[in-house]
Chains A and B, each alone.
Chain A
Amino acid sequence: MNHWIGAPIDRADGILKVTGEASYAADFNFENLIYGIPILSTCAKGKVVKIDDSDALKIPGVLTILTSQNTPEFFPAKSDFGTASQMGEIRLPLQDETIHYAGQYLGVVLAETLESAEEAEKLVKVLVEEEPPILEMEKNLSQAYSPKAFFGEPLPVIRGNFEKAFSEAEIKLEEIYTTPVEHHNPMEPHASIAVWDGENLTLYESTQWVVGARNVVADALKLPREKVKIISWFVGGGFGCKGFIWPHTLLSSLAAMQMKRPVKVLLSRRHLFTTVGHRPATCQKLTLGASRSGKISALKHHTITHTSFVGEFLEGSGGASQNLYDFPNLQVIYQVVRLNKGTPTFMRAPGESTGLFALESLLDELSYKLKIDPIELRLKNYAERHPETGLPWSSSNLKECLQIGAEKFGWKNRNPDPGSMKQGNLSLGWGMAVSMFPGFRSPGSARVKILPDNTARVESATQDMGTGTYTTMKQIAAEILSLPPEKINSFLGDSSYPAAPISGGSMTSASVGPAVEAAAKKALQHLIDTAIKDKASLFYRCSPDDLQAKNGNLIFKTDPSKAETFGEILLRNNLPFLEGEAFIKPDQPDKKYAFQSHGAQFAEVLVDPYLKTIRLNRMVGIFDVGKILNLKTARSQAIGGMIMGIGMALYEKTVYDLTTGRVVNDNLSDYLIPVMADIPSIDVEFIDKPDPYFNSLGVRGLGEIGITGTAAAIANAVYHATGIRIRDLPITLEKLL
């Protein structure tokens, strides 16, 4: 059969989105709506002495202003992935006077119109006792702490004997790579509308995790979890900053309960730079020992990064060094400094994207030192098994990725000498890097209903952030039910559907997909059971094994002309629907295989020898992510990831004022992300071989791998073009002048 899974069909929500009919959180409107605008601290460290809201309250339409003085107590919600409840910032909002970062919420103005709320917010006078903020991690290393664990794995990671292997190595290299704070900047800013009916709280949110949002809100307000419902039908991008639950969601909920009216809290672009997370800066020192032939015997990956005073986060940059190559002697060390900045959070491929920039740049440096082709160097250090656990790969096609990518790109025509290749007056640079992202899965569930009109619906409390989940989930059901996908509707983004994990860690397809498959199988089984018990059916008393679904009919396998539509069976039995529900849990205990996605990226840059402008000319990305559910949406994901990687390589950087701690470039004019004119032709190809052991569908998910390796491939290409090695992102022209 295998005919709908993998098909490059159009997005289920495409027309809704381009016609403006898709309702994003902020699009919901209610009678009697109150608008809430957060009041942000302009100071990065200190204490609120007094908040004078007398002028603000005079603005017509202003109802009240919540501050720490008049906000009722929130209750600490668990911050724990396992119980599906994680706050981005652990501190509860408006409960005390301490200021930990610029942009922290000091209150929320509630008004009849957005305009009055905004005007009033500017009139609130906050008197603070300021202290000098701690803003630079390098200068505050004495305050650093060493985290003891990362997602349950003890730290530091020590494998073999690094010191000994390094001291014996023929070739030694040590370099420092730095990456700046970056902000996710999804197109759609966060929004939260809370509707309270005296007993039930419904939130219209822009979130990557409806279940997590429900649990946090319920716990923080001491409501039973079943009384809270989160709706997030469409999400205009998240990239991680809508994963955990941030203070604005608690404020809209609390305000709605207080005011007994619906409350809409909208964040502006400026708010997106403070309280909804960011990728923290990293300073990574890599120390490497290798033989002259290019076998790396020793590697130390020492990452200095930061978190806030009100949350825990670790950018796991060393993970790349731990999981990708066969490094027999390894140390992965972290130091974390607390800074007066908002709390960092996951941003597309947290850890891998920053870590691979460092590691894959270093390998390029080694390739020059040893005069070995960069691809050959990677193959020399290829890990036949998972380097950390020693488990065999369930499937690893890194070598194929490298080979196909090299062919498509024309790598063999590369003259490795820096500055040796030209296009017109411009210097041409070719660089490559490996991509990788671990295979993650979580428990997931789904329900599939067959309806009397020969259609079906899929329900799951997962979410589609623009990734294509609406489309791929119905393709899976289509495959099992043998219904064309246009006869199936997916219903997602509602916490009252069967529970699903956060849309993060590239695990939605791998976690929810198998649940949809199993639920569809159960629904079909119920249909067959109903038919064979139905005296009026052609299939009365037949063996289930003799029957199969085909194009909306149940048929005899041996005689397809004997057919009954799904609808006939349901209608005859007076059934409004037949459903199957499934909960699928990864079988963790008997870990026999290691699961990881791999890829290879190639970049061609053109550098103006005088002006030093860097323009990308083309990129090739080959990815091994298991089975592809929909070639079209998959390709978009991979391209989107690579484009975000281009941003990371060449443009993105959040600038903080080092006196005030405020973000200087908190808008899309100053925080540069690539525009279409910066994006070259991007050629993406997938290996598309099912992972035999990861799950029933063989999919590993691909939301994040696209961004990994891009920055290094571009940095390596810039070196090849210019002979200048930039180890500090973003690579901007002034660094080449």
Chain B
Amino acid sequence: MKPFTYQRPFTVQEALHSIRNTPGSIFLAGGTNLVDMMKLEVINPSVLIDINQLPLNKIEPLPNGGIQIGSLVRNSDLGFHPLIRKNYPVLSQAVLSGASPQLRNMATVGGNLMQKTRCSYYRDEISPCSKRNPGSGCSALKGYHAEHAILGTSSSCIATHPSDMCVALSALEAIIHIESEKEKRKIAASEFHLLPGNSPEKETVLEPYEIIVMIELPPLPPNTTSCYIKVSHRALYEFALSSAAVVLEWEGEKIKQGRIALGGVAAKPWRCFQAERLLENSLPDEKLFRSCAETALQGAEPQKENQYKVELTKQVICKALSTAFKRSV
């Protein structure tokens, strides 16, 4: 680890002022990802701005029936919060399916959004990797990539975004509130992360001088069911090989509309807009679910070692849809 200095602001304004005016500075939240990256010397900040004292650790109901979640809320507190469990079970399931209890006790919502890919070449600090070292090439493409992305990849990067929480946020059409010294802005969860294209080093729309202050969950109609399905080798404590968050709104026997987001398969939580269209005003059955799955994976471009993810993800989608369906009856 390289030497660094440490600051601890108490207000959002102070934090934003520091980040803007201190070269080489970065925010430290729970530290479960950043400290790792510093030990590996993949991220080498010269100044840590510890934001844990900022007043951003509350979960509060909104007048419109939605909920707002401060960016410093710990993953455990989010996952176990009674309102989240009751109104947004898919989010609770997704958050609690990730990492371990100890990590979730430290990890924050903001940090979870911003966590880095698990691609081993990115983390080893020496292999060519365009995400870490722009333009150096992609070691995973010709190397080991069994856990890598199959959707939205480019020839410069095939890494995934590893979060479970973000997949649920995307299916819930959450809104991310961002602030800088000059302005406040909002962005849809599905648009927060970027696909690699030619610049895989740019992973989110967040600018280095901005901070995530909170996440807003819009209200869900009462006749909604949801679920999160995650598949990994181990029963627990592993990033998703493939996962799906599904939110279905019902009108009688029919699905009025549905949303499907995938994890473990792309550089961002992958919304399946075309498949979602098939769900609109349809009667649920295995055939419908399978055709949604087929549609969702139409554009998949797997590599040699991760071809299995195509069929696996189809199965995950079917399972998520049928589970959410069962919850409706």
Stretch in contact with the other chain, from B45-53, B78-86, B88-96, B232-240: B232-240
Assembly CA distance A658 to B124 (angstroms): 16
Given known A611-B319, A657-B144, contact A675–B2 (CB-CB < 8 A)? no
Closest 9 CB pairs of A and B: A734-B308, A677-B235, A677-B236, A610-B315, A664-B144, A657-B143, A664-B120, A675-B237, A678-B235
Closest to B314 in A: A610
Given contacts A611-B316, A670-B120, 20 further A-B contacts (CB under 8 A): A42-B126, A115-B1, A119-B3, A610-B315, A611-B231, A615-B235, A651-B233, A657-B144, A659-B139, A659-B142, A660-B127, A664-B143, A675-B235, A677-B234, A677-B235, A678-B235, A733-B231, A734-B146, A734-B308, A737-B312
A-B pairs with beta carbons under 8 Å apart, 16 shown: A119-B2, A119-B3, A611-B315, A613-B231, A615-B235, A651-B234, A655-B144, A657-B144, A659-B139, A659-B143, A664-B120, A664-B144, A675-B235, A733-B312, A734-B146, A737-B312
Closest to A651 in B: B233
Interface flag for B285 (CB, 8 Å): no
Assembly CA distance A734 to B318 (angstroms): 17
Assembly CA distance A610 to B143 (angstroms): 29
Shortest Cβ distance from residue A718 to the other chain B in the assembled complex, whole angstroms: 14
Given known A119-B1, A677-B236, contact A610–B120 (CB-CB < 8 A)? no
Closest to B311 in A: A737
How would residues 608 to 621 of chain A score, 1 for a CB under 8 Å from any chain B CB and 0 otherwise? 00111101000000
Shortest Cβ distance from residue B133 to the other chain A in the assembled complex, whole angstroms: 15
* B interface, over-half SS: loop
* Beta-carbon contact of B318 and A610 below 8 Å: yes
* Beta-carbon contact of A611 and B312 below 8 Å: yes
Of B41, B118, B126, B127, which is within 8 A of A669 by CB? B118
Shortest Cβ distance from residue B291 to the other chain A in the assembled complex, whole angstroms: 16
* Beta-carbon contact of A674 and B234 below 8 Å: yes
Q: Which of B266-320 contact A (CB under 8 A)?
A: 308, 311-312, 315-316, 318-319
Assembly CA distance A345 to B238 (angstroms): 28
Assembly CA distance A652 to B146 (angstroms): 15
Interface flag for A388 (CB, 8 Å): no
B residues engaging A (CB < 8 A)?
A: 1-3, 41, 118, 120-121, 124-127, 139, 142-144, 146, 231, 233-238, 241, 308, 311-312, 315-316, 318-319
User: Chain A interface: which size bin?
Assistant: 20 to 34
Interface flag for A241 (CB, 8 Å): no
Interface flag for A33 (CB, 8 Å): no
Given known A613-B231, A664-B144, A670-B118, contact A677–B237 (CB-CB < 8 A)? yes
Closest to A655 in B: B144
Interface flag for A118 (CB, 8 Å): yes
How would residues 703 to 737 of chain A score, 1 for a CB under 8 Å from any chain B CB and 0 otherwise? 00000000000000000000000000000111001
Interface flag for A662 (CB, 8 Å): yes
How would residues 625 to 650 of chain A score, 1 for a CB under 8 Å from any chain B CB and 0 otherwise? 00000000000000000000000001
Interface flag for A122 (CB, 8 Å): yes
Shortest Cβ distance from residue B79 to the other chain A in the assembled complex, whole angstroms: 16
Interface flag for A665 (CB, 8 Å): yes
Assembly CA distance A672 to B233 (angstroms): 8
Closest to B315 in A: A610
* Beta-carbon contact of A610 and B308 below 8 Å: no
Could you say which residues of chain B place their CB within 8 Å of the CB of A115?
Answer: 1, 3
Could you say which residues of chain A place their CB within 8 Å of the CB of B125?
Answer: 122
* Beta-carbon contact of B124 and A662 below 8 Å: yes
Shortest Cβ distance from residue B148 to the other chain A in the assembled complex, whole angstroms: 12
The residue among B41, B127, B142, B318 with the most chain A CB atoms within 10 A of its own CB is B127
Could you say which residues of chain A place their CB within 8 Å of the CB of B308?
Answer: 733-734, 737
Assembly CA distance A669 to B117 (angstroms): 13
* A interface, over-half SS: loop
Shortest Cβ distance from residue B48 to the other chain A in the assembled complex, whole angstroms: 15
Assembly CA distance A285 to B238 (angstroms): 33
Given known A611-B315, A657-B139, A664-B144, contact A732–B118 (CB-CB < 8 A)? no
The residue among A613, A664, A678 with the most chain B CB atoms within 10 A of its own CB is A664
* Beta-carbon contact of B236 and A733 below 8 Å: no
Assembly CA distance A662 to B123 (angstroms): 13
* Beta-carbon contact of B319 and A610 below 8 Å: yes
Assembly CA distance A612 to B318 (angstroms): 14
Closest to B309 in A: A734
* Beta-carbon contact of B234 and A678 below 8 Å: yes
Could you say which residues of chain A place their CB within 8 Å of the CB of B316?
Answer: 611
* Beta-carbon contact of B312 and A734 below 8 Å: yes
Could you say which residues of chain A place their CB within 8 Å of the CB of B1?
Answer: 115, 118-119
Could you say which residues of chain A place their CB within 8 Å of the CB of B118?
Answer: 669-670
Q: Which of A209-226 contact B (CB under 8 A)?
A: none
How would residues 70 to 105 of chain A score, 1 for a CB under 8 Å from any chain B CB and 0 otherwise? 000000000000000000000000000000000000
Assembly CA distance A670 to B118 (angstroms): 9
Given known A610-B319, A664-B120, contact A672–B143 (CB-CB < 8 A)? no
Assembly CA distance A218 to B320 (angstroms): 63
* Beta-carbon contact of B235 and A122 below 8 Å: no
Shortest Cβ distance from residue A41 to the other chain B in the assembled complex, whole angstroms: 11
Assembly CA distance A122 to B38 (angstroms): 13
Closest to A268 in B: B39
Given known A674-B234, A734-B312, contact A122–B120 (CB-CB < 8 A)? no
Assembly CA distance A573 to B315 (angstroms): 81
Closest to A735 in B: B308
* Beta-carbon contact of A675 and B144 below 8 Å: no
Q: Which of A116-135 contact B (CB under 8 A)?
A: 118-119, 122
Closest to A730 in B: B233
Could you say which residues of chain B place their CB within 8 Å of the CB of A659?
Answer: 139, 142-143
Shortest Cβ distance from residue B150 to the other chain A in the assembled complex, whole angstroms: 13
Assembly CA distance A583 to B211 (angstroms): 70
Shortest Cβ distance from residue B93 to the other chain A in the assembled complex, whole angstroms: 16
Closest to B39 in A: A118
The residue among B125, B139, B237 with the most chain A CB atoms within 10 A of its own CB is B237
Could you say which residues of chain A place their CB within 8 Å of the CB of B126?
Answer: 42
* Beta-carbon contact of A672 and B234 below 8 Å: yes
Assembly CA distance A148 to B160 (angstroms): 49
Assembly CA distance A150 to B159 (angstroms): 45
Assembly CA distance A735 to B52 (angstroms): 44
Assembly CA distance A665 to B1 (angstroms): 20
Q: Which of A654-691 contact B (CB under 8 A)?
A: 655, 657-660, 662, 664-665, 669-670, 672, 674-675, 677-678
Shortest Cβ distance from residue A730 to the other chain B in the assembled complex, whole angstroms: 8
Closest to B237 in A: A675
Assembly CA distance A678 to B236 (angstroms): 8
The residue among B126, B139, B235, B311 with the most chain A CB atoms within 10 A of its own CB is B235
Could you say which residues of chain A place their CB within 8 Å of the CB of B3?
Answer: 115, 119
Closest to B144 in A: A664
Shortest Cβ distance from residue B322 to the other chain A in the assembled complex, whole angstroms: 10
Assembly CA distance A672 to B143 (angstroms): 19
Q: Which of A39-54 contact B (CB under 8 A)?
A: 42
Assembly CA distance A650 to B126 (angstroms): 30
Could you say which residues of chain A place their CB within 8 Å of the CB of B121?
Answer: 664
Assembly CA distance A118 to B39 (angstroms): 9
Could you say which residues of chain A place their CB within 8 Å of the CB of B235?
Answer: 615, 675, 677-678
Shortest Cβ distance from residue B4 to the other chain A in the assembled complex, whole angstroms: 11
Assembly CA distance A664 to B315 (angstroms): 28
Shortest Cβ distance from residue B130 to the other chain A in the assembled complex, whole angstroms: 16
Assembly CA distance A42 to B121 (angstroms): 13
Assembly CA distance A53 to B41 (angstroms): 18
Shortest Cβ distance from residue B161 to the other chain A in the assembled complex, whole angstroms: 16
How would residues 352 to 383 of chain A score, 1 for a CB under 8 Å from any chain B CB and 0 otherwise? 00000000000000000000000000000000
Could you say which residues of chain B place their CB within 8 Å of the CB of A664?
Answer: 120-121, 143-144
Assembly CA distance A504 to B94 (angstroms): 44
Shortest Cβ distance from residue B244 to the other chain A in the assembled complex, whole angstroms: 11
Could you say which residues of chain A place their CB within 8 Å of the CB of B139?
Answer: 657, 659
Assembly CA distance A674 to B236 (angstroms): 9
Assembly CA distance A737 to B126 (angstroms): 34
Given known A664-B144, A670-B118, contact A675–B234 (CB-CB < 8 A)? yes
